[in-house]
Amino acid sequence: MSAILASLIPTFLIIATGWLCRVTNFVSEPQWAGLERATYVIFFPALIIDTLSRADLTSVPVLGVGGALVGAILTMAVLVLGLRPILERRLGIDGPSFTSIFQGATRWNTFVGLAVAGSLYGQRGIALIAVAIAAMVPLLNLLAFYVFIRFAGRPKQSPWDILRSFVTNPFIWSCAIGLLLNVLVPPLPKPLAAYIDVMGRAALAAGLLIVGAGLDIRRLARPGIPHLLTAGLKLVLMPVMAVAYAGFIGVEGDDLTVTIVASSVPSASAAFVLARQMGGNAGLMAEILTLQTLLALISMPLLISVLG
User: For residue 290, what are the contacts with CB-CB under 8 A and spacing of at least 6?
Assistant: 12, 15, 211, 212, 215, 220
Radius of gyration of the chain (CA): 18
Residue in 233, 190, 213, 94 with CA at minimum distance from that of residue 150? 94
| Whether 291 contacts 234, CB under 8 Å | no
C-alpha to C-alpha distance for 45 and 152, rounded to whole angstroms: 24
3-class secondary-structure state, position 79: helix
How many angstroms separate the CA atoms of 292 and 97, rounded?
Answer: 17
Residue by residue, pLDDT tens for the chain (308 residues) are 677 777 778 878 888 898 899 889 999 888 888 898 888 889 988 988 988 888 777 777 888 999 999 999 999 999 999 999 999 999 999 999 999 999 999 998 887 888 788 878 888 888 888 888 888 888 898 898 889 888 887 666 667 777 777 778 888 888 889 888 888 877 788 899 899 999 988 887 888 888 788 777 777 777 889 999 999 999 999 999 999 999 999 998 889 999 999 999 989 878 888 888 788 899 899 899 889 988 888 898 889 888 87
Closest of 213, 204, 190 to residue 290, by C-alpha: 213
Reported as type and span, the H/E element at residue 114 is helix 110-151
Looking at this protein, which amino acid is placed at residue 144?
A: A
Q: Which of 303, 293, 307, 308 is nearest to 5 (CA)?
A: 293
Q: Looking at residue 1, what is its pLDDT? A: 67
